[in-house]
Chains A and B, each alone.
Chain A
Amino acid sequence: MKKTRETKTHYKTSTATITLNRELVERLRYAAEWKGIPFEEAAGKAVTEYLGRFGIEKVRAEQAIFEKMRPALLEKYRGQYVAVHNGQVVESAPDLRSLHHKVFVRFGFTPILHIQVTDEPERDIQTRGLRLERSAQ
């Protein structure tokens, strides 16, 4: 049986105690030592990174649902920004900033799609700048 070590994490007023298996603790300790940061900081960074990836994954999934809903949403929300959470429009606003505020008040840090409802499908973002690489002096 693998030995485990308890790790306490704090965020403002909320605290959670989690149990990590020994191997994970050792890997994390090694990473922290190699980076020269405290163990707790390394643990925090690892969780933050995971949550970042989760946010991308969730927003991507919501966006796929949004694309299917887009024609139906046009009637009610044309030109507005909507927040899509678990496949449902949960908030709307005339601009992104107002929408973000409403969503933050209701859902805190939960990753939620914020997108404008328009006729046109999402366009790719273009970058046209060309750079000359500086030659080594």
Chain B
Amino acid sequence: MSVILVFLLVIAGFAGWWLSHQRLTAKPWLEQGLAGDFVGLERSALPTAKIGLGVFLAVVGCLFSLFTSAYFMRMGLPDWRPLPLPRLLWLNTGVLVLSSVALQCAVIAARRGQTDMVRLGLATAGLTALAFLIGQLIAWRQLTDDGYLLDSNPANSFFYLITAMHGLHILGGLVGLGRTSIGARTGARPQRLRLGIELCAMYWHFLLFVWLGIFAVLAGWAATFVSICQRLLT
């Protein structure tokens, strides 16, 4: 359970930092009226939707940390046989990076008000994300053809399960991206469009980050890294 505890520690750090700015030691019964002190103690200047997405991403992060925790705990049992990761995953990683880059370009374009660039960026991001999903499916196919079935070893089960969960999140993101793209075509208010694109980009970057993390775990680097750290400590 160490992965999830570390993750929660990070969350707790955030929460603690935020709470420390909320004057939790104030004596509220002595403070009346609308004094200037209260500026900054009210809502954040960030758009509410971004904060909402941030909280949601914390939940998603929690979910993948838990899968990783379970992965490490199960890995320690004797019947674990690591599976060779298909080379294709490298290509898929590249495609996903491209997708994030395209969305980032769309964000920049939206800030500058370049509508054509925005549309191009959104389309590229959507298509590359779709390509990533197809690539993942092909990777699954390769593995099953080579006999690495879902139920033949827990390492395989975890591989399919975690990649499927990640894929589902991408799929959900594509729905959001689709809605934003429709907005871009039908000419939604620029401010609203910009916010939509920024939200998509935030989600995309996060899922890219999650993918890199689980790629490292599934490839076994994470375990190697942890064992090196443990050796250094002892």
- Do they bind each other? no
Interface residues in chain A, defined as those with a beta carbon under 8 Å from any beta carbon in chain B: none
